[in-house]
């Protein structure tokens, strides 16, 4: 059967009426890949949910297709969002598809190149402010209250509805919920959505519930420290957020599931980022790798036991942020003259060394 996208696949779980346009870029249906080396090393069953396989390269497409379809249904002319990059890329793509105008507000100089390239290509109206994501979100919220813009940040409940479908897919792929879900936390919409998804799917299919393990970056760990961070800072720009909009819901998801919200340092994130690509062949963006770094930390602390199943959510594709990949890698191309003998001996010298 051909995949028709989330709105058709999960229509009975979503707020879809006869008036809702069945918008789609064939989002969802992403791979769940076993993490073989990690599983062997720790005696667990670890998997990665590859959300970078979505049409714009991140999990945002799941929520955006729903939010954009509802905006269209309600007769909106323009959508607006603040973003650390992925939300804006997704909003711009789905707005283009739906024929809506898209306005995005981003923190200047703090979004990865690939994400900016997407927003430009999809034709959004882009405003880069000399402030952070939290400042941008404040502005777009105000505008959407007083003006004719539909807000498509994750405080739009339709975003959460769409994003919860990732939990459904995981239950279907494994036959039941895993024991643990490790997930990066920025604005905290995704952990909220996953928890809602697992609870709903369990009600229908008795798939049980995982413990939700959310991980913030240490320089932006507002929830962990129960304190707004005025100047959040992290290499993982996607989660450089100091006052998460779904703060309360994230705490609730962790508490209700017997999970945790914890933090990982930039150093731990970069180690996980490099390790994942080199050892498992999976290139995910830095923020995504907070889930792997967090899993390691939980294993080190003995929170996760042998034999248990864990899904790490890899929220975005590594190609989104080529600069961080290059800057954090020690491997550089060796530049050589165009001479067969020199090239051959250089290769042999390296590989047989």
Cβ partners under 8 Å of residue 100, min gap 6:
68, 71, 72, 76, 77, 78, 79
**What is the CB-side half-sphere exposure of residue 62 using CA atoms within 13 A?**
30
Q: Does 58 bind ligand F0G (CB under 6 A)?
A: yes
Cβ partners under 8 Å of residue 30, min gap 6:
49, 50, 51, 53, 54, 166, 169
Shortest Cβ distance from residue 245 to ligand F0G (Å)? 8
Binder of ligand F0G out of 102, 170, 182, 185 (CB under 6 A): 185
Do the beta carbons of residue 230 and residue 246 sit within 8 Å?
Answer: no
Contacting range for ligand F0G; rule: CB under 6 A; set: 31-39, 79-87, 171-179, 221-229: 79-87
Compare residues 35 and 105 and give the one whose CB is closer to ligand F0G. Answer: 105
Binder of ligand F0G out of 238, 261, 289, 292 (CB under 6 A): 238
Q: Does 219 bind ligand F0G (CB under 6 A)?
A: no
Compare residues 9 and 84 and give the one whose CB is closer to ligand F0G. Answer: 84
Do the beta carbons of residue 48 and residue 33 sit within 8 Å?
Answer: yes
Q: Does 86 bind ligand F0G (CB under 6 A)?
A: yes
Q: Which of 87, 29, 33, 21 is nearest to 54 (CA)?
A: 29
- What's the distance, CA 326 to chain centroid? 21
Q: Is 188 annotated as a binding-site member?
A: yes
Do the beta carbons of residue 238 and residue 186 sit within 8 Å?
Answer: yes
Shortest Cβ distance from residue 205 to ligand F0G (Å)? 25
Do the beta carbons of residue 246 and residue 154 sit within 8 Å?
Answer: yes
Contacting range for ligand F0G; rule: CB under 6 A; set: 169-177, 181-189, 297-305, 336-344: 181-189
Residue entry with tokens 């703090």: 110
Tokens describing residue 46: 């670890």
Total chain residues near ligand F0G (CB under 6 A): 22
Q: Is 315 annotated as a binding-site member?
A: yes
Q: Does 210 bind ligand F0G (CB under 6 A)?
A: no
Q: Does 234 bind ligand F0G (CB under 6 A)?
A: no
Contacting range for ligand F0G; rule: CB under 6 A; set: 3-11, 188-196, 272-280, 299-307: 188-196
Tokens describing residue 35: 């993490």
Do the beta carbons of residue 23 and residue 72 sit within 8 Å?
Answer: yes
Q: Is 189 annotated as a binding-site member?
A: yes
Residue entry with tokens 């299919």: 205
DSSP element (H, E) containing 258:
none
- What's the distance, CA 219 to chain centroid? 18
Contacting range for ligand F0G; rule: CB under 6 A; set: 187-195, 197-205, 263-271, 300-308: 187-195
Q: Does 263 bind ligand F0G (CB under 6 A)?
A: no
Q: Does 118 bind ligand F0G (CB under 6 A)?
A: no
Compare residues 162 and 178 and give the one whose CB is closer to ligand F0G. Answer: 162
Give the E-state strand segments of 195-332 in sequence order. 211-217, 260-264, 309-314
Do the beta carbons of residue 321 and residue 112 sit within 8 Å?
Answer: yes
Per-residue binder mask for ligand F0G (CB under 6 A), 269-308, x = binder: ----------------x-xx--------------------
Binder of ligand F0G out of 189, 210, 219, 232 (CB under 6 A): 189
Give residues in contact with ligand F0G (CB under 6 A): 58, 60, 83-87, 154, 184-190, 238-239, 285, 287-288, 315-316
Bind-site residues for pyridoxal 5'-phosphate: 86, 186-190, 315
């Amino acid at each position: 059967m051909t995949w028709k996208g989330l709105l058709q696949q999960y229509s009975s779980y979503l707020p879809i009426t006869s008036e809702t346009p069945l918008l789609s870029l064939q989002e969802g249906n992403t791979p769940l890949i076993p993490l073989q080396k990690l599983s062997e090393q720790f005696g667990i069953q670890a998997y990665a949910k590859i959300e970078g396989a979505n049409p714009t390269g991140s999990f945002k497409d799941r929520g955006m297709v729903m939010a954009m379809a509802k905006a269209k249904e309600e007769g909106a002319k323009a959508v607006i969002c603040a973003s650390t990059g992925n939300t804006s890329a997704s909003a711009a793509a789905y707005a283009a598809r739906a024929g809506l105008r898209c306005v995005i507000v981003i923190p200047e100089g703090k979004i990865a190149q690939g994400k900016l390239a997407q927003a430009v290509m999809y034709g959004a109206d882009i405003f880069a402010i000399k402030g952070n994501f939290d400042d941008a979100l404040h502005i777009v919220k105000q505008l959407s209250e007083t003006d004719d813009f539909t807000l498509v940040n994750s405080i739009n409940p339709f975003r959460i509805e769409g994003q919860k479908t990732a939990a459904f897919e995981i239950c279907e792929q494994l036959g039941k919920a895993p024991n643990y879900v490790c997930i990066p936390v920025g604005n905290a919409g995704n952990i909220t959505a996953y928890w809602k998804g697992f609870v709903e799917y369990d009600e229908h299919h008795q798939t049980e519930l995982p413990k939700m393990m959310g991980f913030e970056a240490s320089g932006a760990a507002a929830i962990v420290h129960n304190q707004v961070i005025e100047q959040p800072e992290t290499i993982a720009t996607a989660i450089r957020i100091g006052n998460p909009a779904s703060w309360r819901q994230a705490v609730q998801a962790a508490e209700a599931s017997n999970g945790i919200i914890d933090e990982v340092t930039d150093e731990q994130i970069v180690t996980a980022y490099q390790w994942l690509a080199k050892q498992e062949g999976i290139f995910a963006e830095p923020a995504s790798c907070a889930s792997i770094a967090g899993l390691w930390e939980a294993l080190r602390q003995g929170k996760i036991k042998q034999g248990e199943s864990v899904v790490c959510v890899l929220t975005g594709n590594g190609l989104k942020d080529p600069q961080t990949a290059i800057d954090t890698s020690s491997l550089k191309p060796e530049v050589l003259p165009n001479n067969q003998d020199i090239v051959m001996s250089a290769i042999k010298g390296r590989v047989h060394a």
